[in-house]
């Protein structure tokens, strides 16, 4: 499985991650949530690996815009349904390498992830 970075191109955190990958000469494929979409299988894989609480971005503008009913009684299935309906609810970026996943971006976390 190639290295894939999932996100949206105008997100500042995604831009930082892309710059970091390029500066470290790591080949990756960029998957734009909005253009390329997300699948239930992708979200399920990430949630199973990381926990849905790690994948769902409760600090996003999209989260704040949700109805109160959508925010109640959350579980993995409901979180996945919300993220499928509104991909900007996914914490960005999601980095996928083989069967390992990481959300967000911090220089030190990426260094550890790639053992650099």
Q: Which backbone phi and psi does 87 adopt, to 5 degrees?
A: -55, -20
Q: Is 11 annotated as catalytic? A: yes
Of 4, 7, 10, 11, the active-site residue reads 11
For residue 93, say if its preceding peptide bond is cis, omega within 30 degrees of 0: yes
Q: Active-site residues: which are they?
A: 11
């Amino acid at each position: 499985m190639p290295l894939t970075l999932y996100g949206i191109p105008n997100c500042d955190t995604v831009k930082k991650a892309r710059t970091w990958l390029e500066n470290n000469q790591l080949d990756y494929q960029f998957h734009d949530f909005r253009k390329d979409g997300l699948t239930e299988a992708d979200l399920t894989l990430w949630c199973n690996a990381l926990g849905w609480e790690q994948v769902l971005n409760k600090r996003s503008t999209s989260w704040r815009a949700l109805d109160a009913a959508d925010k109640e009684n959350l579980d993995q299935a409901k979180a996945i349904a919300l993220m499928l309906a509104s991909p900007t609810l996914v914490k960005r970026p999601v980095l996928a390498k083989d069967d390992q996943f990481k959300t967000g971006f911090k220089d030190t976390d990426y260094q550890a992830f790639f053992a650099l």
